[in-house]
């Protein structure tokens, strides 16, 4: 069993998964905030490798990627940062990136470097499962989970294919569109999670748009984990002591822990 899969084996436990962009607002900030998130109740942390054309990301994460690139944050530096973080925290670390940087680095070389740096999995939004066999073979050899995404518009055929291929968990995109904090979640989200659950044995984690503890609790009643990105980055921008980030993570953790007996609706 992978370290990511083991997170979901805890009885009645809902996974809290924050996202941050490596190197934003600085590499030092990344090295400080990840241990803070881990100590505040987070179970897995997504480390975003900045990319010049982040198609799945909204304005907040696009801006973070832009400034991280201005700070000369490269995949090689992200690997170095991950290695340092893996020595500071004992929870799984996942890279979220796009296929071009991985391909440019070299599939074998990148995955080998990930393993050596303490990375447990990869999320690549622009890699469809129909085209992922090459990377799947390499990740399996390196004991990395390759985590695929599904959207509300995914066909039944795509859902079945992802259920066959995804490692660790399946990333459910809460809406059609890009990342970003939102006031409301899609009214059809519950039905979407239920549709995937009928087919997929993997844990289901929902991201895109979750920005409050109330939203996180609502999602966790239906899914196995909650992914929060843009709101974390906004709080990092507003408070360079990261007190607000830690408090927000603890608030989310408390909201998820209030669910009775791992309740699902």
- Return the SS3 of 130: helix
Give buried/exposed letters for 138-150 (b at 16+ CB in 10 A, else e). bbeebebbbbbbb
pLDDT of residue 265: 44
244 CB-side CA count, 13 A: 10
CB within 8 Å of 187: residues ≥ 6 apart: none
Domain annotation covers residue 111 = yes
Paired with 205 in beta bridges are: 171, 225
Q: Is residue 262 part of a domain?
A: no
Q: For residue 159, is it within any domain?
A: yes
Query: Is residue 263, in this structure, part of any structural domain at all?
Result: no
Torsion of the alpha carbons at 81, 91, 203 and 161, rounded to the nearest 10: 30
* pLDDT score of 203: 98
Within a domain: 265: no
Q: What pairs with residue 18 in β-bridges?
A: 228
Is residue 114 included in any domain, yes or no?
yes
Classified as helix, coil or strand, 45 is strand
In a domain? residue 192: yes
Question: Ramachandran region of residue 118, left (φ > 0), alpha (ψ -120 to 50) or beta?
Answer: left
Catalytic residue numbers read 46, 57
CA distance 163 to 200: 5
| Nearest in space to 30 (alpha carbons), one of 71, 62, 2, 1 | 71
Token pair recorded at residue 189: 């989200």
- Taking the C-alpha atoms of residue 18 and residue 8, their distance in angstroms, rounded to an integer, is 16
The DSSP symbol for 262 reads G
Choose among 30, 40, 86, 76: nearest CA to 252: 40
Model pTM score: 0.93
Q: Are 229 and 12 in contact (CB under 8 A)?
A: no
The answer as to whether 260 is a domain residue is no
Owning domain of residue 17: 3-255
Query: Which residue's entry shows tokens 């990377």?
Result: 135
Binning the chain into helix, strand and coil, the percentages to the nearest 5 are 45, 15, 40
Any idea what the CATH number is for the domain that residue 171 is in?
A: 3.20.20.70
Residuewise pLDDT in 10s, the chain (265 residues): 899 999 999 999 999 999 999 999 999 999 999 999 999 999 999 999 999 886 767 788 999 999 999 999 999 999 999 999 999 999 999 999 999 999 999 999 999 999 999 999 999 999 999 999 999 999 999 999 999 999 999 999 999 999 999 999 999 998 654 444 445 676 789 999 999 999 999 999 999 889 999 999 999 999 999 999 999 999 999 988 999 999 999 999 999 999 765 444 4
Q: What is the pLDDT of residue 182?
A: 44
Please state, in angstroms and rounded to a whole number, the distance separating the CA atoms of residues 140 and 15.
Answer: 23
Residue 196 confidence (pLDDT): 98
What are the beta bridge partners of residue 106?
A: none
**Domain total of the chain:** 1
Task: State residue 30's pLDDT score.
Answer: 98
CA distance 69 to 236: 17
Six token digits for residue 36? 């803070």
């Amino acid at each position: 069993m992978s370290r990511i899969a083991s997170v979901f084996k805890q009885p009645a436990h809902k996974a809290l998964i924050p996202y941050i962009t490596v190197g934003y607002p600085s590499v030092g900030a990344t090295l400080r905030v990840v241990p803070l998130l881990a100590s505040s109740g987070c179970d897995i942390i997504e480390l975003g490798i900045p990319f010049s054309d982040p198609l799945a990301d909204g304005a907040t994460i696009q801006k973070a990627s832009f400034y991280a690139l201005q700070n000369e944050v490269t995949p090689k530096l992200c690997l170095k940062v991950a290695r340092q973080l893996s020595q500071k925290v004992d929870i799984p670390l996942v890279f979220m990136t796009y296929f071009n940087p991985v391909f440019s680095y070299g599939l074998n070389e990148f995955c080998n470097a990930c393993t050596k740096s303490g990375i447990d999995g990869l999320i690549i939004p622009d890699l469809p499962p129909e085209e992922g066999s090459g990377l799947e073979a390499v990740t399996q050899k390196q004991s990395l989970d390759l985590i695929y995404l599904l959207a509300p518009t995914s066909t039944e055929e795509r859902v079945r294919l992802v259920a066959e291929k995804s490692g660790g968990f399946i990333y459910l995109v809460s809406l059609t569109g890009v990342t970003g904090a939102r006031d409301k979640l899609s009214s059809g989200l519950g039905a979407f999670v239920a549709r995937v659950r009928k087919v997929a044995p993997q844990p289901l984690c929902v991201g895109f748009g979750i920005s409050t503890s109330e939203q996180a609790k609502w999602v966790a009643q239906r899914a196995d984990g909650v992914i929060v990105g843009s709101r974390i980055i906004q709080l990092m921008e507003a408070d360079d002591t990261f007190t607000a980030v830690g408090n927000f993570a603890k608030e989310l953790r408390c909201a998820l822990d209030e669910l009775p007996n791992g309740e699902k609706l």
